[in-house]
Amino acid sequence: MAGVVALFSTLALNLLCLAMAFDHSPLQDFCVFDANSPGCKNPGTVTADDFFYSGLHLPANTSNPYRAGLKAARIPGMNGQGLTLARLDFLPDGLIPPHYHPRAAEILTVLEGSLEVGFVKSYPNYKHYGKVLNKGDVYVVPVGLVHYQRGVGNANTVVLSAVNSQNAGIVEVAAGIFGAKPVIDSNYLANAFRLNKGIVEQLQSKCWS
């Protein structure tokens, strides 16, 4: 019974956090990020270039074990607008490990190639909603749910990803557990994941960051 109460308290807390998770509405037309001062750039000196970025025609760096890369459009004028935009590149079989964004939903548009994407609904039934997307297809991943992406087919895959937060946050599921520092007790993890302790320690010894 205590366990059930604790579980529901946690759920209630999660709901509370979700209710407060979205970016605040701006109280001014814009607040252009200024690297040289803590506040907004003086509006009198703001120009069109403060809302501009060029570079998403160039691929992200995919020279890593996952064979996938992310390149964000960094635009000073996006500050405070509750948005982030990025290009994702996948070599064939390139992938982004399972992760979630605590503060944003994500919308994915396939520009080239094919992408397998899926997310998992929360407790209690963990239903998996997965799909293979082709050029021109769009998919939404709801806020806070575990999801994954993988390039499929023989060609490279290019995806435009937008999230409705300036700081969506990324929690990689495996890294967030097995890469935690200081380490989470391996006996606990072995029991929690129903794994052999040796496998847990092997996972913990990998480089996750």
Stretch touching ligand NAG by CB under 6 A, among 38-46, 59-67, 76-84, 161-169: 59-67
Q: Judged by CB under 6 A, which of 42, 61, 187, 196 binds ligand NAG? A: 61
Contacts of 71 (CB under 8 A, 6+ apart): 55, 56, 58, 59, 60, 61, 86, 87, 88, 89
In which order are the strands placed within the sheet that holds 157-163? 68-72, 84-90, 157-163, 106-112, 138-141
Please state the closest distance from residue 96 (CB atom) to ligand NAG, in A.
16
Burial tier of 124 (Cβ tally within 10 Å: 0-12, 13-18, 19+): exposed
Q: Judged by CB under 6 A, which of 37, 45, 54, 64 binds ligand NAG? A: 64
- What is the distance between the alpha carbons of residues 89 and 132, in angstroms, rounded to a whole number? 16
128 in a labelled binding site: no
DSSP code of 45? G
Please state the closest distance from residue 63 (CB atom) to ligand NAG, in A.
4
* CB atoms closer than 10 angstroms to residue 84: 21
Residue 55 binds ligand NAG (CB under 6 A): no
* 36 backbone dihedrals φ, ψ, rounded to 5°: -95, -5
116 in a labelled binding site: no
Q: Judged by CB under 6 A, which of 25, 37, 63, 154 binds ligand NAG? A: 63
Please state the closest distance from residue 188 (CB atom) to ligand NAG, in A.
33
Stretch touching ligand NAG by CB under 6 A, among 34-42, 57-65, 112-120, 132-140: 57-65
For ligand NAG, the closer of residues 34 and 172 by Cβ is: 172
Annotation: binding site = 99, 101, 106, 147
